[in-house]
């Protein structure tokens, strides 16, 4: 039986995803990665949701990948079943159609920071610590710590964490651009809900398209954002309706360049 899960609660156009493995400081194992993927699918499929919040239960946001989950893996299994699978799950969350706000209720270290880093907005409680301690264990950040985090926060701050082992306070992280807002202890989720309500009051279609446009501009999407934008545009055209009708009726399409 899995000892952790990810709860999804939807209220007033806001979905709250809570990583729930508090006895392990919300460390991620394969079951937790699968639960994150399922939670992302649930949010994506719910047309009521306009914005999502990601947070942790208990004292930590996430302590990262559970060493017991990957420590005994052979190299090939580690690379495929752990690192590459984790990448797919994190990419699923990063490319949600709705904006994602991370409410950092506790420390975000290693894979926990990589998880927070995929959100669009980060709100951290004042007592938390942020860092990438992997090299101290003789390993490297594996879930986009040297890729997405560099694109979003800059190479130098990632060097300081990954090479120098520096751990930042919430306020230091805010000044470095790692988090956007610092809240009082115990206040991250409330602050995230307030911010999410602001986001949810804006045009849902515009939010989705702007998120895709930013992903394209930042080079994070490998072309998928451009194809999604193009597909959304074409889906509304008279030409597409004519093409589908012609296919169904087994006749040549009569395209008129209609929008």
The catalytic residue positions are 114, 134
Cα–Cα distance, 92 to 132 (Å, whole number): 22
Pairing, β 181-183 against β 51-56: unpaired
SS (HEC) of 52-77: EEEEECCCEEECCECHHHHCCCCHHH
The SS3 of residue 169 is strand
Cα–Cα distance, 225 to 95 (Å, whole number): 9
Cα–Cα distance, 19 to 47 (Å, whole number): 22
Q: What is the DSSP string of 35-56?
A: HHHHHHHHHHH-TT-SEEEEEE
Our CA dihedral for 194, 198, 201, 207, rounded to 10 degrees, sits at -120
DSSP 219: T
Cα–Cα distance, 214 to 210 (Å, whole number): 6
């Amino acid at each position: 039986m899995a000892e952790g899960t990810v709860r999804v609660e939807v209220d007033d156009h806001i979905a709250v995803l809570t990583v729930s493995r508090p006895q392990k400081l919300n460390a991620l194992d394969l079951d937790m990665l699968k639960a994150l993927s399922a939670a992302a699918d649930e949010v994506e499929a719910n047309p009521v949701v306009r914005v999502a919040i990601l947070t942790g239960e208990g004292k930590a946001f996430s302590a990262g990948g559970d060493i017991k989950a990957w420590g005994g893996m052979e190299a090939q299994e580690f690379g495929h079943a752990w690192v590459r699978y984790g990448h797919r799950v994190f990419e699923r969350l990063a490319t949600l159609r709705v904006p994602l706000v991370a409410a950092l209720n506790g420390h975000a270290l290693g894979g926990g920071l990589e998880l927070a880093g995929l959100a669009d907005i980060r709100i951290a409680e004042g007592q938390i610590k942020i860092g990438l301690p992997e090299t101290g264990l003789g390993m490297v950040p594996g879930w986009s710590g040297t890729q997405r985090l560099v694109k979003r926060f800059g190479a130098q701050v990632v060097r300081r964490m990954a090479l120098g082992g520096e751990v930042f306070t919430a306020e230091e992280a805010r000044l470095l651009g790692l988090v956007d807002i610092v809240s009082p202890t115990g206040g991250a989720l409330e602050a995230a809900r307030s911010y999410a309500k602001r986001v949810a009051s804006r045009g849902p279609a515009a939010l989705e398209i702007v998120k895709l446009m930013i992903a394209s501009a930042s080079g994070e999407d490998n072309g998928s954002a451009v194809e999604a934008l193009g597909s959304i545009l074409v889906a509304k055209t008279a030409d597409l309706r004519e093409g589908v009708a012609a296919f169904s009726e087994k006749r040549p399409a009569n395209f008129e360049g209609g929008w």
